[in-house]
């Protein structure tokens, strides 16, 4: 695999979710606020979405997912982690981030939240 090219593609997809939402095929919704994403990226990091988007599953064509009610800025932190692996935790965000990681079965993020809580 050409790692620099793969990084470039994911960087561009991250820009799309922030600036060109028409290139995105899915939206996460929390407290009425939409956060755009690419199904392929969500599937890559979340077993929840891997199951949800299987062809045989009845909701595979659904283009939105209602999340637990968490602050929008914390959904942004979650999405930044999904797309880049960068994670900025603080005491104000940890509960919401852990809620999202648990709800969407993102095990590595749950582990990082647990490590933060132990520090």
pTM reported for the whole predicted model: 0.89
Q: What is the pLDDT of residue 61?
A: 65
Q: What is the pLDDT of residue 53?
A: 86
Task: Tell me the C-alpha to C-alpha distance, in Å, between residue 76 and each of 38, 64, 72, 80, 118.
Answer: 14, 16, 6, 6, 24
Q: What is the pLDDT of residue 55?
A: 66
Q: At what angle do helices 72-84 and 3-19 cross, to 10 degrees?
A: 160
Q: What is the pLDDT of residue 20?
A: 84
| Burial (CB count within 10 angstroms: exposed 0-12, middle 13-18, buried 19+), residue 82 | buried
Query: Mean pLDDT, 10 residues at a time, over the chain (119 residues)?
Result: 91 93 93 95 95 69 90 97 96 97 97 95
Q: What is the pLDDT of residue 31?
A: 94
**Radius of gyration in angstroms for the set of CA atoms belonging to the chain, rounded to a whole number:** 14
Please state, as a whole number, how many other Cβ atoms lie within 10 Å of the Cβ of residue 43: 17
How many Cα neighbours within 13 Å face the side chain of 76?
6
Domains belonging to the chain, first-starting first, are 3-118 (3.30.710.10)
Q: Which helix (H) or strand (E) holds 34?
A: strand 33-37
Q: What is the pLDDT of residue 59?
A: 55
């Amino acid at each position: 695999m050409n790692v620099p090219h793969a990084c470039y593609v994911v960087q561009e997809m991250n820009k799309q979710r922030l600036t060109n939402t028409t290139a995105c095929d899915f939206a996460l919704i929390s407290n009425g606020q939409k956060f755009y994403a690419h199904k392929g990226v969500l599937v890559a990091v979340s077993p929840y979405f891997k199951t949800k988007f299987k062809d045989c599953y009845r909701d595979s064509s659904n283009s939105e997912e209602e999340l637990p009610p968490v602050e929008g800025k914390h959904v942004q932190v979650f999405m930044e982690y999904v797309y880049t692996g960068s994670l900025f935790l603080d005491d104000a965000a940890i509960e919401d981030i852990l809620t999202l990681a648990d709800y969407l079965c993102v095990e590595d993020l749950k582990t990082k939240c647990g490590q933060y809580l132990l520090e």
